[in-house]
Amino acid sequence: MSIDNPNTEFTVVINEQEQYSIWPTYHNTPTGWKEVGVIGNKETCLAYIKTTWIDMRPKNLKENLASTNSN
């Protein structure tokens, strides 16, 4: 079990399905994810995600539901 270092700096990342996560800045951003420009401690990054990611469905599901409902 690892304990988070309170001094660890994170960046908020998003994937092509518009799903969010946080990633330590001392690691390269993983393939398939891009930084959104928010950097800070864990609490700051998670607070951003909480207020931004209000619909947790993957992008392709939202698009499929929208096209089904428009027919």
User: What residue spans define the domains of the chain?
Assistant: 10-69
Instruction: List 20's β-bridge partners, or say none.
Output: 14
pLDDT value at residue 3: 64
- What is the value of pTM for the model shown? 0.81
Tokens encoding 5? 């270092």
Share of the chain above pLDDT 70, in %: 94
**What is the C-alpha separation between 26 and 43, in angstroms, rounded?**
17
* Domain range 10-69, CATH class: alpha beta
Residues 6+ apart with CB under 8 A from 69: none
The label of the residue with tokens 């990633």 reads 23
**Dihedral of the CA atoms 50, 59, 34, 42 (nearest 10)?**
20
Kindly tell me if the per-residue pLDDT of 31 is higher than 70: yes
